[in-house]
């Protein structure tokens, strides 16, 4: 029997989970979207029966926010229906199920970091589809489902294929272009390094806590503007970053203004990620080797 089955191995988080698994003593199998698409119920079911994993970790997501508005059916198929199906299969074979959710399940109106028991209220299709996936998984398999909410994930030397990079890599790219750079100074988040998140996920599984929702993010929070400034600082790029005070709730695609999360449950178990600026410094150092 295999310890872990990882879905979405080519994504930022999936790749780091593979790397973390290789460095640990767990046995694992990992599949890319092309090898095993989470929307293919029959193939998923047959593969799980064949592999017989103790834990399934699902990192697959339809997470480009504008695309979710244009293609809500696709967003719900990946972020809700597929998660529901996986939870059902895991319940049938008593497999622990881990899947990831987002800070975008909240509306940002609390104006301070959200804890696990705060009431969600998504503002757009992306957050709504992810929240629906949470409800579906828990309704189907409350005894074995772990929802890990996170925020502002970045990682890998190429970032996310669907997003054509990630925030850090795109800012570094813009640092080579002419002219000043304008970045939103109002949206507050916890930028989270996928490598830290992957390690924390495996640590959580090792501890075998009660199923439920866990917020796992970098410590502290900041605006995208301040984050961009730190990126240039750590990359030794001398370029001016101009803060833009844009209210994201009034845009065509509404985003929470303050969506930082607070890790309370995992921290009580001893799981704590580095401060966001320290994590960024590590990522830039590793990416620019």
Catalytic residues, by residue number, are 126
- CA separation (Å) from 215 to 3, 123, 259, 267, 271? 23, 19, 12, 9, 11
- The candidate with the shortest Cα–Cα distance to 275, out of 157, 169, 192, is 192
- The candidate with the shortest Cα–Cα distance to 152, out of 119, 201, 103, is 103
- Report CA torsion sign: 162, 124, 197, 137: negative
How far apart are the two ends of the chain, measured CA to CA in Å? 37
Q: How far apart are CA 94 and CA 80, in angstroms?
A: 20
- Tally DSSP H helices, then E strands, for the chain: 11, 12
- In order, the DSSP letters of 230-244 are HHHHHTT----EEEE
> Could you give the angle at the alpha carbon of 261 between the alpha carbons of 260 and 267, nearest 5°?
145
Decide if 100 contacts 106 (C-beta within 8 A).
no
């Amino acid at each position: 029997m295999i310890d872990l089955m990882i879905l979405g191995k080519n994504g930022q988080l999936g790749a780091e989970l593979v790397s973390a698994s290789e460095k640990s003593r767990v046995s694992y199998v990992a599949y890319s979207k092309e090898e095993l698409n989470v929307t293919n119920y029959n193939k998923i079911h047959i593969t799980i029966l064949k592999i017989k994993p103790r834990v399934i970790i699902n990192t697959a997501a339809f997470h480009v926010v504008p695309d979710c508005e244009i293609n809500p059916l696709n967003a719900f198929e990946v972020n809700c229906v597929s998660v529901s199906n996986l939870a059902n299969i895991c319940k049938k074979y008593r497999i622990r199920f881990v899947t990831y959710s987002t800070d975008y399940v909240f509306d940002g109106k609390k104006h301070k970091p959200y804890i696990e028991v705060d009431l969600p209220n998504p503002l757009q299709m992306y957050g709504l589809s992810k929240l629906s996936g949470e409800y579906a998984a828990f309704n189907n398999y409350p005894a074995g489902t772990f929802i890990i909410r996170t925020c502002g994930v970045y990682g890998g030397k190429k970032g996310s294929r669907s997003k054509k990079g990630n925030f850090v890599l795109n800012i570094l790219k813009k640092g080579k272009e002419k002219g000043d750079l304008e970045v939103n100074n109002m949206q507050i988040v916890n930028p989270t390094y996928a490598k830290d998140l992957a390690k924390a996920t495996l640590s959580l599984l090792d501890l075998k806590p009660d199923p439920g929702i866990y917020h796992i993010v970098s410590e502290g929070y900041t605006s995208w503007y301040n984050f961009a400034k730190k990126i240039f600082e750590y990359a030794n790029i001398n370029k001016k970053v101009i803060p833009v005070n844009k209210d994201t709730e009034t845009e065509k695609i509404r985003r929470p203004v303050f969506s930082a999360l607070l890790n309370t449950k995992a921290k009580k178990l001893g799981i704590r990620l580095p401060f966001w600026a320290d994590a960024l410094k590590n990522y830039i150092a590793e990416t620019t080797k």
